[in-house]
């Protein structure tokens, strides 16, 4: 499990042009990825992104960050029509609403009633630049207008990215509309060109990157029959779909790993307490032997030999060397081995726990045995032995 959680890359062989998409993993203590590291030290947030480059990036903005202590619910699709890129020009000094239309499938997803699960992301650029910052709203167009505030920065023609969260949990089951609009009031100068790219309406508990709507991908593939796409473009669309699938599988893996990790941490915490008590009991047994030697008849019994001894006390029977380098302690519920006073192995409740072990030939668990390959000792194999 430790190796699985710490792995930075998950690969899936892509049959298109021999390319291999990679999913990259990183960890951070903050929700925005601040303090990013590629080593899993139990940080709260885990991030991932996918591309065709094997090396992991240290750019925190490339990763989608998720709370590994909470349940992840991935949306997996975009409900906006014509979502990739559109241009609009402000032609009036009165209020104008720029609309992006919605696929009906959005209203069939009952997860929209979960608070903060409905999300919109988009990139907006202005030409020429706005003279100053201007705030407005992005609304679902039917009354009541479920909306959220947005502020466009002035003095720049660069893309501005926005991630918006909506609460439709109080809406009725019959509430629906066919579009979402950005309201451009008379504060926006005339003849301003507005580029709206990567519009994404999705339902998810975490922020997701832009992906084309399923209907757009299908339409692009269908148009291949009309020779409107080259084979290279078709391959790119298939690769994009495969990357989307890889990302969704990675999110499911993240949720599973979070559950397993919580269970493992609980086990480690309980185990650490048991180890500490076992070591304390060993010290207490030693103290009682010393008391017996001094008082002749204390609470323990000792048999000393040339190099070893056997001690009996309430904390168990201890067999060890006189220099206390190695000891074995037996109680009613635990058999423990110590090295220099530290517990390194125990048997308790049907489980053998060894801090460090070496199996020189083979290891069998159930019906499977792991061993060295008979002709190449640098390779380990796992065999089914029945």
CB 27 within 8 A of CB 39: yes
Burial 209-243 (b: 16+ CB within 10 A, else e): ebbbbbebbeebeeeeeeeebeeeeebebebeebb
Q: What are the tens digits of pLDDT across the range 12-44?
A: 344 345 567 888 899 998 889 999 999 888 787
- Tens-place pLDDT, residues 44-77: 788 999 888 889 999 999 999 887 655 556 666 8
What is the pLDDT, as a whole number, of residue 90? Answer: 93
Answer whether residue 209 is part of any domain.
no
How many angstroms separate the CA atoms of 284 and 264, rounded? 30
Q: How would DSSP label each residue in 55-92?
A: SPP--GGGSEEEETTS---------BSS-SEEEEE---
User: Distance of CA 64 to CAs 12, 52, 69, 120, 206, Å?
Assistant: 19, 17, 15, 15, 8
Is there a domain that residue 296 lies in? no
Residue whose tokens read 């466009």: 152
Per the domain annotation, does 186 fall within a domain?
Answer: yes
Span 143-195, pLDDT tens digits: 998 999 999 999 999 999 999 999 998 899 999 999 999 999 889 999 999 99
pLDDT digits (tens, 9 = 90+) for 316-367: 888 888 877 788 888 878 888 888 778 888 888 778 888 777 777 777 877 7
State pTM to two decimals: 0.44
Domain at 182, CATH number = 2.60.120
What is the Cα–Cα distance from 39 to 33, expressed in whole angstroms? 13
Domain-embedded: residue 157: yes
pLDDT value at position 368?
79
Residue 323 in domain: no
Domain final position from 180, 203, 226:
203
pLDDT in tens, 215-241: 877 776 666 555 555 666 666 767 776
Q: Starting at the earlier edge strand, list the strands of the sheet with 193-203.
A: 85-89, 193-203, 118-127, 160-166
Give the pair of three-digit tokens for residue 169. 């949990």
CB distance 19 to 52 below 8 Å:
yes
Determine contact, residues 78/215, Cβ cutoff 8 Å. Answer: no
Kindly indicate the confidence band of residue 260, based on its pLDDT and cuts at 50, 70 and 90: low
Identify the DSSP state of 190: T
Total domain count, the chain: 2
Is residue 365 included in any domain, yes or no?
yes
Does residue 339 form part of some domain? no
Domain end, chosen from 203, 223, 241, is at: 203
- Domain range for 156 is 85-203
In contact, 79 and 101? CB cutoff 8 Å? no
Last residue of a domain, one of 203, 229, 258: 203
pLDDT bracket for residue 311 (50, 70, 90): confident
In a domain? residue 268: no
């Amino acid at each position: 499990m430790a190796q699985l959680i710490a792995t930075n890359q998950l690969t899936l062989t892509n049959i298109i042009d021999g390319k291999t998409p990679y999913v990259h993993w990183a960890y951070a203590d903050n929700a925005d990825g601040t303090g990013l590291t590629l080593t899993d030290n139990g940080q709260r947030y885990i991030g991932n992104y996918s591309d065709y480059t094997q090396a992991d990036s240290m750019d925190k903005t490339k990763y989608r960050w998720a709370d590994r202590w909470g349940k992840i619910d991935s949306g997996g699709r975009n409900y906006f029509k014509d979502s990739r890129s559109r241009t609009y020009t402000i032609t009036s000094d009165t209020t104008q609403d720029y609309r992006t239309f919605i696929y009906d499938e959005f209203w069939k997803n009952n997860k929209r009633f979960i608070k903060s699960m409905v999300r919109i992301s988009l990139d907006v650029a202005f030409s020429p630049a706005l003279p100053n910052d201007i705030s407005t709203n992005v609304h679902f167009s039917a009354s009541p207008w479920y909306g959220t505030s947005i502020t466009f920065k002035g003095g720049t023609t660069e893309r501005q990215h926005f991630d918006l969260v909506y609460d439709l949990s109080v809406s009725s089951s019959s509430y629906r509309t066919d579009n979402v609009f950005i309201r451009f009031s008379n504060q926006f100068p005339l003849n301003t060109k507005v580029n709206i790219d990567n519009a994404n309406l999705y339902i998810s508990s975490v922020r997701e990157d832009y992906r084309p709507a399923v209907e757009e991908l299908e339409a692009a593939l269908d148009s291949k029959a009309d020779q409107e796409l080259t084979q290279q473009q078709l391959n790119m669309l298939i690769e994009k779909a495969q990357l989307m699938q890889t990302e969704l599988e990675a999110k499911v893996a993240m949720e599973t790993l979070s559950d397993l990790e919580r269970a493992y941490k609980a086990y480690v915490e309980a185990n650490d307490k048991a180890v500490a008590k076992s070591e304390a009991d060993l010290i207490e047994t030693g103290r009682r032997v010393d008391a017996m030697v001094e008082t002749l008849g204390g609470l323990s019994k000792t048999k000393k030999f040339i190099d070893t001894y056997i001690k009996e006390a309430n904390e168990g029977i201890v067999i060890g060397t006189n220099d206390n380098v190695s000891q074995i302690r037996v109680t009613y519920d635990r058999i423990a081995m110590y090295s220099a006073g530290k517990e390194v192995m125990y048997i308790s409740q049907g489980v053998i726990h060894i801090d460090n072990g070496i199996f020189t030939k083979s290891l069998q668990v159930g019906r499977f045995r792991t061993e060295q390959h008979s002709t190449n000792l640098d390779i380990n194999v796992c065999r089914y032995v029945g």
